[in-house]
Structures are given as C-alpha cells and as structure tokens.
Structure 1
C-alpha cells in the first residue's frame, strides 16, 4: 500500500502526465483494500476522457463508449450533493445495483462489485469522477474507508484544476501556431463548444457565425449540417460523415473547412473528444509543411509520405514503387492514416489534404 504523502505527490504528477493515472488509480484503490480505480472527465451528457487501473480494464472501453450514458450511478451520486466519496449502497438497493449497466455490463464481468465514488467540479463546466472498486466477495466500503478516500479528494480536485488550466493553454497555443502559418482555426470539444480560437478565424464573419455559449456555425446551411454531423461523429473512425467540405461565404467566395479529430498523443484524460476546425482557401497560395500535417493528424513520417502520394492521385502500387516498399506495407500504412484522419476512402483522404498541402515526399 502506497503511503499517503507519496500518493499525493503522484496525483499532482499525473495532472501533467495522464499516463501516470492508471498506477495512481491502482494505488488509490489499494489504500482502502480495493482492486483499483478509474478517473473520468465529463461535460454535460458526454464523457470526454478516462484512465483506469488494470483491474478495471476488462470491458472498460466498451462500457465507456456504449453503456456509460445509461447507468444511473452518476446521476444518483450527484443528487447526493456530497463533497466527498459515497458508497454505491447509499444510492442503490442491491437489486438496482446488480441490474445497473455499471455492474451488469462491466463490473461483474471484471470481477468487481462494491464501488465508492465522488464527483469533483472543475472550471469550464467539466467535472471529474473518481471511482474505486472492490472485488466480488469483499465487504462494502465503511465510513472509515470513505474518510481515507476523502483525505485524497482535495488533492484530486487541485490536480483536476491544474490539468484543466494546462489543457486550455495547450489548446490556445495550438490555435495560435496555426495562425502563424496563415490558417484560421479553432479547437472544439466533443459537443462543438469552442475551447480556443485564433484571430484569423474570429475574423471570418463572411463564412462563420458565432453563437451563444461559445458555439460556432457556418453561414452555408448545407455545409453547417455537414459540420454538425462531423462533430457528432468525431470520435468514430468508421463514421460516414464528411470531414472536409467546401463552404460558400456571404459574398459567394468559397473556402474549404476541415474538421480534424485529435488522436494518439494529441489527447489525454482532460482532452478527450476534441477536434481542430481549420479553414483554407479553395486554392491555397501557400502550404504548411509536412511537420505541421504530421502533428495535426498524429502521422508518422512514413504515413505522411503515403498520405502525400494519395493527395497526388497516385495508386498504392505507385506509392510502393516510389518508396521501394511492398504494397502490403503501403496498405497497412494507409489503414493507419484512415484511422487517424477519419477518412474512409482514398478519395476522401485526397479531398481532406488537397486544399491544404501536398506533403513533401523527400
């Protein structure tokens, strides 16, 4: 069992490095003889990101994507309005608890039963949920157990505050970096709320409308419907929504809008489910370099070369011949590019890249 001060130190370290949360959640659970824990961020009805210890891993991803919105646990816990941890038995009867998706579709399959959880508000409307579980056959959490967990709660709250502030700084820096190479851009969360925007996109009044509650819309109704659909499906790499499309301005001047899902290392616990909205002229006079495109889509150098070949209109055989690799290698790389960009076909990928740049192939 980790000692109190050491675990507190690592909670603050995890605020800056989300990869530390699984071990922190394991040790937090261990502090009260639990199997482990999970930490989640939520806005409105959307779960934005989560990290969990190994004991909670079986079925966790499937539950968070498909079942988390159906559990009554969060709503009942919030109704307690308690600034501390609560045992699930305080808000459920045993029959209700066993039937709830939290246990029926996840916990029982992972060999877990009793849970203690707390909800912690953080700035910008998010809140953080921390839950620890015990294995089937163990007793529920006692008042002493909850008191021990409550001792960590202020530190979890401060870590959440720090992570949220660092998150906003990083998103603003990303938007400003795009402005430096002439791209109007904004960062949107999973619900379409604007988290950061550069001055260039704020000036596009002929193409964009700024709505209440930090929302953005396109003046072109057909394009705006495509944008709304793309935002709703931003976390689904197999979605059929178009993520690169032309937009007519109020004066008829066209631009191309790209919705770029954040993937891989671009995401962490407090940045789940966001995307970059970038705007380019229909015929861009200059192009961002390959490093920028790799960063936007989280591509490797090899994947960027394949994407560039697709943008040129080359076949996979031609791309393979150009770089002296097998077609099988190129097929594997193009699948990875599709997953990272949200494109489903080569033509869709070409459309996404064509208005921005032809990635240098050397």
Structure 2
C-alpha cells in the first residue's frame, strides 16, 4: 500500500523465502491453501481504489518480467472494465443493449403482454410482418389473421404470462390463404428481470417467435428426386436425416469429407436450407 499506485508488484521481491518460512500469516493462510507467489497492484480511479491480486500455487515459479508486464496491461485496463460494468448495471442502459442484441438475431422476436400489446419488435420481425399475411400488428396489437388460430395464439400468450408460466412445447401454425401451415410460432415467457427493461410496471411479458416453415418436398415419382437433387445428394440428405454426421456419410459413400461439404452446399442452394438441421427437417419423413 505504500508503493505508488498504477504498478503491479511481485511479492517475492519484497518477501524472500526465509521470511515466508517464518511468517505465520503465510504458513497459516497462503501455504495452507496451496498458494505461494502473488503479484498485486492498485489503481486509483476517481473516488474508487481498485486492487488486483493474482496468486500462484506453491509448486509454481516466481513471476517473471514478461508475466508482470502482461498483468500490468490488465491493471491499466481495470478502470475501463469497471466503467463498462457500471454502465451495464444501469437500468436505462440495458434496454438499448438488449434491443441491439435482439436485432442481431436472424429469427423474428416479438415481445407482447397478456393483452396482446406489442412492446418490442426486432429487425427480423419487422421484415416478416411486412411480407406476411398470416400475422399482423394493428394499433400496437399483435394477432393472427386466421380466426381459428387467433384465439389459440392469445391463449398461449396468456398462459406464459401467468404467475406460473405454462409453455406449450409444440408450435402453433398460422395458415396461409390456401389453409396450409405457413408460419411456425413458439411462445415462451420473458424472464422477469428482462421484462422490467421493456415495461416499468414489471408486468409479465411473452416472446413470440415466428418463423417461416420449409415446404415439405414433393414425393418423388419413379426415379424423380425432390429439388432436382443428384443421386449422391439425395443419399447424403437422407443419411443426414437419419442421424449420420457428415463424416459418417463420407465413410459410407467412400468419398472425402471435402466432397460431402460440397454436396451439402449444393443441397443448401437447391432447397433453400441454411443449416443441416433444416435438411433433417425436410427429409426426416
């Protein structure tokens, strides 16, 4: 504490081995816990005094100059770390940070209360609503266009906003104009500590997660294969759908893994899938 602040100090330079051997403090606390060498520093930041201490086990060597320099860089940045932490802890700063995180998600996220009032839409949700006829937001109220689906959606939102949230694991399907399932919708509760950031009254909120379904492939007639897949691509797709990994598919087909990766890219392009899980969903039947 007497040394100038802003520097990391290796304690072995101040307390040699013969002092440690006679020190009740070291023998009763540090050595008993398996610690021997320590390095510490202090930095003053306004009204705060920040202290960083790093310890090494008994069987480790003393701190060398390069390690002390690395720890010095951490000490220099310690005030910045605490400033970020304080900013994140402020309630008014959490909402924009949460919104930025949700906007980065490729999946649509709609935050609503039990009366179907919309509290937040991320970028993907806004894009989906512009193109969708199955769901809509009017007068800041969220609803499904289909009169049969709308009450089911409202009930699920109320269920997850209840004191003891009840979550339906199976998705709800919004139908298109032809009566076919078009949107797959999951409804999950928003954690209470996150709800506070969207609604100062701390009322329960729900997250509605809609996504466009992949159309089921047409059943092949004769030698016809869906999506104009080649024979090798069709074999790979069905193999992945049955639970095989790309490496296992390569071994079974007797080809290199790079060939399988190229075939997966081709399947993505032909089916519109973006990941292997989508291929599994398309071909699992």
TM-score, normalised to structure 1, is: 0.30
TM-score, length basis structure 2 = 0.36
Larger Rg: 2
The answer to which structure, 1 or 2, has the higher relative contact order (CA under 8 A, 6+ apart) is: 1
